[in-house]
Amino acid sequence: MTARDTHGLVRAVLFNILFYGWTLIYAVFAVPFLLAPRPVVLAVGRAWNRSVMAIIERVAGIRFQVKGRENLPAGPAIIAAKHQSAFETLALPLILYDALFVLKRELFWIPIFGWYLWRLGDIGIDRAAGPAALRAIVRQAKSVLAQGHHVIIFPQGTRVAPGSRHDYGPGVAALYTMLDVPVVPVALNSGLYWGRRRFGKIAGTVTIEFLPAIAPGLERQAFMAELQQRIEAATDRLLAQAPRPL
């Protein structure tokens, strides 16, 4: 093992100890606030979010930059984001104040962390429910948008490694066709630095780019083709432009 490998391993171990250890401590502290009004719950959750992002930056050396903020509509919108790692689940809530995620319902069952997601009003999917799940997503998202929030959805439904391809699911199409709001595609390259199921982290700067919104009114297939083309092309560009991680 080289000196660089040893340094990387030590940094990875330190990062994981701090990340999970601090999260456990904070979770115990945060339990009573679950009974507080929602604005307090949001403030406690964002404080944890900022603190773990500080650990990610200072220990793992991963930062992020945002492009295309001008493409975010003034009103509520659906944010359809590429998903390569856990990093964007932490960064997007800091970029988009009080936006709510469409996520798998099982996350609500995680003690304390999942309770906070449920308490904030994130939209849980019962993947076994079939068409009923899509109707439930649309119903809940309609309520969320009416309250002025953005809805964040990962159209591919899972983390996809950089350069890989994965089908886009029907959830985002259902939201677009039923709710008459713009959809903002989001490209990113987080998987270069925080790999899916990878213990170590690679220092670098993640780019998260908001692309021009897709206005309501397209036919379903045309929308899906446009969404996929925009996200995949921009993601490929960001991957190509990124400095090669060492």
Q: What tokens does 132 get?
A: 């009923």
The pLDDT of residue 41 is 96
Q: Is the pLDDT of residue 129 over 90?
A: no
Structure-model confidence comparison of residues 8 and 59, the more confident one? 59
246/244 Cα distance (integer angstroms): 6
* Cα dist from 94 to 48, 197, 212, 215, 225, whole Å: 11, 23, 20, 25, 29
Query: What pLDDT is attached to residue 134?
Result: 86
% the chain with pLDDT above 70? 95
Radius of gyration of the chain (CA): 18
What distance lies between CA 226 and its chain's CA centroid?
21
- pLDDT tens digits, one per residue of 182-208: 999 999 999 999 987 777 788 999 999
Contact assessment for residue 40 and residue 33, using Cβ atoms and an 8 Å cutoff: yes
**Exposed / middle / buried, residue 81 (Cβ in 10 Å: 0-12, 13-18, 19+):** buried
Q: Are 45 and 116 in contact (CB under 8 A)?
A: yes
Q: Give the pLDDT band of residue 245 (cuts 50, 70, 90).
A: low
Q: Is the pLDDT of residue 48 over 90?
A: yes
State the CB neighbour count (10 A cutoff) for residue 111: 8
d(CA 214, CA 223): 8
- pLDDT at position 4: 53
Residue 160: strand, helix, or coil: coil
Superfamily of domain 62-241 in CATH is: Glycerol-3-phosphate (1)-acyltransferase (3.40.1130.10)
Instruction: List the structure tokens of 145.
Output: 């948008």
User: What is the mean predicted confidence (pLDDT) over 145-150?
Assistant: 94
Q: Could you tell me the CA-to-CA distances from 178 to 142, 172, 240, 242 in Å, in that order? A: 9, 10, 35, 37
Residue 2: which pLDDT band, with cuts at 50, 70 and 90? low
Q: Is 233 helix (H, G, I), strand (E, B) or coil?
A: helix
Q: The whole model's pTM is what?
A: 0.92
Q: How far apart are CA 214 and CA 172, in angstroms?
A: 12
Whether residue 181 is predicted with pLDDT greater than 60 in this model: the reply is: yes
Domain map (residue ranges) of the chain: 62-241
